[in-house]
């Protein structure tokens, strides 16, 4: 493994935890975990032999861990809906998830657009209003600072369509599922353009000069995500991979961690294990707005 070393320090409790991974043998280290938690994970964690799980209850222990990134490292960060949850933007799955109120096939697919473009615009108009009111949280700011430090050695790939990474100061976020505040024509090859309007029914569907309908610049189910060439190039160079707030079920992003497995250390940050948890070197369990600022140390 060529990635940086990882040291987790709980300085407040004067505890030091070093996690060592050698030849695929992982020493699972526990600190401040109750015996019932240990028993639960011993019984239920299918990744027990290959993965280290750090449960960071902020009320129990202050995690001042540091992911050390060497000068040679190239860092790939993948963010999902969870990083914006603390900014008030609902995630897709889980309690309060967007898809509990809408069926995705009715609002986020090419068929939905053909069948009822007004309903699609109603859904994306709601999302535009919610996103317009949101402000970046410490997770976004931490990644923006990391970009300033690492510059082109950091590749930030987001599945999110909000602009919170940019608002926090990230300059090169790659939006693989599109951008909420952009629209494009569904007929001609005009470039996507900035658009903050809301188009609630019964408003007409906006039209392009070519006669086509203006649609949200979003990658819908059944469409190919954007910038995949750049993304896979960056993955092929990455030595550190960090996924934040993504449930690990939507492809192709869910497979990125497997793509880097042979040469990169991989970390997950979020309150619960993702579906692809087994593929990560380590999972840091907690809210990203609370954990991310402590993971990289002073920059
Ligand atoms: P998700 O809703 O599937 O998962 C959100 C994750 O965030 C969960 O694992 C949750 O534990 C975690 N989370 C919740 N609060 C958090 C916090 N405070 N800090 C960190 N993590 C937190 O979202 P996803 O994984 O991003 O979904 C993948 C992508 O699928 C989405 O970004 C979206 O682009 C796409 N998607 C698209 C459509 C569509 O219509 N095109 C529909 C559904 C999903």
Sequential DSSP letters for 1-42: --S--EEEEETTTTEEEE--EETTEE-----S--HHHHHHHH
Split at pLDDT 50, 70, 90, the class of 29 is: very low
Residue 47 has pLDDT above 70, yes or no: no
**Residues of CATH 3.30.1600.10 domain(s) within the chain?**
90-133+181-218
Catalytic residue among 140, 177, 217, 259: 177
**Residues of CATH 3.40.50.1220 domain(s) within the chain?**
6-79+140-175+226-295
Ligand 1 centroid to 60 CA: how many Å? 27
Q: What is the CATH number of domain 6-79+140-175+226-295?
A: 3.40.50.1220
Ligand 1 centroid to 95 CA: how many Å? 12
Residue 31 has pLDDT above 80, yes or no: no
Q: Record the tokens describing residue 292, joined without a space.
A: 């991310």
pLDDT at 97: 63
Assigned fold of 90-133+181-218 = SIR2/SIRT2 'Small Domain' (3.30.1600)
Q: How far apart are CA 284 and CA 271, in angstroms?
A: 8
Average pLDDT along the chain:
80
Split at pLDDT 50, 70, 90, the class of 14 is: very low
Residue 28 has pLDDT above 70, yes or no: no
Ligand 1 centroid to 140 CA: how many Å? 15
Split at pLDDT 50, 70, 90, the class of 67 is: confident
pLDDT at 202: 78
Q: Which of 58, 80, 222 has most ligand 1 atoms within 8 Å of CB, for mutation?
A: 80
Residue 38 has pLDDT above 50, yes or no: no
Residue 10 has pLDDT above 60, yes or no: no
Mean pLDDT (whole number) for 64-78: 84
Identify whether the C-beta of residue 269 lies closer than 8 Å to the C-beta of residue 288: yes
Residue 66 has pLDDT above 80, yes or no: no
Q: How far apart are CA 79 and CA 96, in angstroms?
A: 19
Q: Closest residue (by CA) to atom 14 of ligand 1?
A: 82
pLDDT at 105: 82
Under DSSP, is residue 99 helix (H, G, I), strand (E, B) or coil? helix
- Closest approach atom of ligand 1 to CA 80: 26
Ligand 1 centroid to 144 CA: how many Å? 20
**175 a catalytic residue:** no
The Cα angle at residue 142 between residues 140 and 145, in degrees rounded to 5: 110
Residue 41 has pLDDT above 90, yes or no: no
Identify whether the C-beta of residue 85 lies closer than 8 Å to the C-beta of residue 271: no
Question: C-alpha distances in angstroms, 63 versus 53, 153, 187, 296?
Answer: 13, 26, 51, 11
Ligand 1 centroid to 72 CA: how many Å? 31
Identify whether the C-beta of residue 65 lies closer than 8 Å to the C-beta of residue 292: no
Of 40-44, 199-203, 243-247, 265-269, minimum mean pLDDT range: 40-44
Q: Which of 95, 215, 218, 245 has most ligand 1 atoms within 8 Å of CB, for mutation?
A: 245
Ligand 1 centroid to 154 CA: how many Å? 22
38-47, long-range: CB within 8 Å, 24+ apart, which pairs? 46/278, 47/277, 47/278
Residue 249 has pLDDT above 90, yes or no: yes
- Closest approach atom of ligand 1 to CA 291: 19
The 10 Å Cβ neighbour count of residue 188 is 11
Higher pLDDT, 51 or 180: 180
Strands 6-10 and 15-18: antiparallel
**What percentage of the chain exceeds 90 in pLDDT?**
67
Q: Which residues line ligand 1 (CB under 6 A)?
A: 80-83, 85-86, 91-94, 97, 104, 108, 159-160, 177, 219-221, 245-247, 250, 270-272, 274, 287-289
Mean pLDDT (whole number) for 155-176: 98
Q: Record the tokens describing residue 23, joined without a space.
A: 């030849």
pLDDT tens digit string along 194-217? 999 999 887 889 999 999 999 999
- Closest approach atom of ligand 1 to CA 161: 34
Mean pLDDT (whole number) for 66-91: 93
The 10 Å Cβ neighbour count of residue 69 is 24
State whether the Cα torsion 18-71-69-1 is positive or negative.
negative
Q: Closest residue (by CA) to atom 30 of ligand 1?
A: 250
């Amino acid at each position: 493994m060529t990635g940086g070393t990882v040291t987790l320090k709980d300085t407040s409790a004067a505890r030091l935890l070093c996690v060592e991974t050698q030849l695929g043998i992982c020493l699972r280290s526990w600190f401040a975990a109750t015996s019932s938690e240990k028993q639960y994970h011993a019984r239920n964690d299918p990744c027990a032999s290959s993965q280290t799980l750090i449960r960071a209850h902020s009320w129990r222990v202050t995690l001042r861990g540091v992911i050390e990134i060497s000068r040679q490292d190239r860092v790939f960060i993948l963010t999902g809906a969870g990083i914006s949850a603390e900014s008030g933007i609902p995630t897709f799955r889980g309690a309060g998830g967007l898809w509990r109120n809408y069926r995705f096939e009715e609002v986020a697919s090419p068929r939905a657009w053909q069948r009822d473009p007004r309903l699609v615009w109603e859904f994306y108009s709601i999302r535009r209003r919610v996103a317009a009111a949101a402000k970046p949280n410490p997770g976004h700011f931490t990644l923006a600072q990391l970009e300033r430090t690492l510059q082109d050695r950091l590749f930030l790939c987001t599945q999110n369509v909000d602009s919170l990474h940019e608002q926090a100061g990230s300059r090169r976020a790659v939006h693989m599922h599109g951008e909420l505040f952009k629209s494009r024509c569904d007929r001609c090859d005009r470039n996507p353009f900035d658009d903050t309007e809301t188009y609630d029914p019964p408003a007409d569907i906006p039209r392009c000069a070519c006669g086509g309908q203006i649609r949200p610049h979003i990658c819908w189910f059944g469409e190919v995500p954007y910038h995949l060439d750049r993304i896979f190039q960056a993955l092929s160079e990455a030595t550190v991979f960090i996924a934040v707030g993504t449930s690990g079920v939507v492809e192709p992003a869910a497979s990125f961690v497997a793509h880097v497995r042979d040469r990169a250390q991989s970390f997950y940050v979020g309150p619960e294990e993702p579906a692809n948890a087994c593929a990560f070197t380590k999972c840091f369990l907690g809210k990203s707005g609370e954990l991310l600022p402590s993971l990289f140390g002073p920059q």
